[in-house]
């Protein structure tokens, strides 16, 4: 389980960084999204990789910390998802505005020599 999780985060982060360094704005925004998936998964699994455990206490059941997942990283990841969603939407608008104003989708607003 740990290996799958770390590989998944690594692939997301690697792809995200690669795309982030590309010259087209669309590639950059996809790269940012992938990188933020990697970070979200990373936060999520900072509460340890455990299967089949709920992050809340069931009424009546004995309270034993070993039976529960840590709820805090789940709350954190929810906040992080919402924030990165909102800022990505904003970036998308700026990206479209830049495309309209400069007539190119290059991140510098003009074509480089490639």
Partner 1 sequence: MTAADHLIVLPVVLPLATGALIVLVDERRYALKAAISLSSLIGLLAVAGQLLVLGETTRVYALGDWPAPFGIVFVADQLSAAMVLLAAVLGLAATLFSLARWQRAGPRFHALVQFLLMGLDGAFLTGDLFNLFVFFELLLAASYGLALYGGGTARVRSSLHYIVINLTASLFFLIGVSLIYGVTGTLNMADLALRIPAIDPSDRSLVEAGAAVLAIAFLVKAGMWPLGFWLPSTYAAASPPAAALFSILSKLGVVAVLRLWLLFFNGAEGGGEFLAWGGMVTLGFAIAGVLSAQDLGRLAGYSLLASSGTLLAAIGIGSAAAAGAALYYLVASTLGIAAFFLLIELVQRARVPGADMLAVTAEAFGLDGDDEPEEEVGVAIPATMALLGLSFAACALVIAGLPPLPGFVAKFALLSALLTPDPIGAAAWTLLALVIVSGLASLIAMGRAGVRIFWGGEGRIVPRVRVIEMTPVALLLALCLALTVGAGPAIRYLQEAAQALHAPHGYIDTVLGR
Positions touching partner 1 (CB under 8 A) are 20, 25, 28, 32, 35-36, 39, 42-43, 46-47, 72-73, 76, 79-80, 83-84, 86-88, 90-91, 94-95, 97-98, 101-102, 107-109
Closest to partner 1 by CB, 60 vs 65, is 65
Place of tokens 């010259």: 23
Radius of gyration of the chain (CA): 19
Supply the minimum distance, in Å, between the C-beta of residue 53 and partner 1: 17
- Alpha-carbon span 68 to 50, nearest angstrom: 9
Using the minimum distance from each CB to partner 1, give the nearer residue, 60 or 101: 101
Of 79, 93, 3, 69, which Cα lies nearest the Cα of 36? 79
* C-alpha span between 95 and 25 (Å, rounded): 7
Closest to partner 1 by CB, 2 vs 60, is 2
């Amino acid at each position: 389980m740990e290996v799958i999780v770390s590989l998944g985060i690594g692939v997301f982060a690697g792809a995200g960084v690669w795309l982030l360094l590309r010259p087209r704005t669309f590639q950059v925004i996809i790269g940012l999204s992938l990188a933020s998936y990697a970070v979200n998964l990373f936060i999520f699994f900072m509460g340890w990789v455990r299967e089949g455990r709920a992050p809340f206490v069931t009424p009546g059941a004995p309270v034993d910390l070993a039976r529960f997942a840590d709820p805090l990283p789940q709350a954190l990841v929810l906040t992080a998802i919402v924030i990165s969603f909102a800022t990505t939407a904003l970036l998308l608008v700026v990206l479209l505005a830049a495309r309209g104003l400069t007539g190119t989708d290059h991140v510098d607003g003009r074509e480089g020599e490639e």
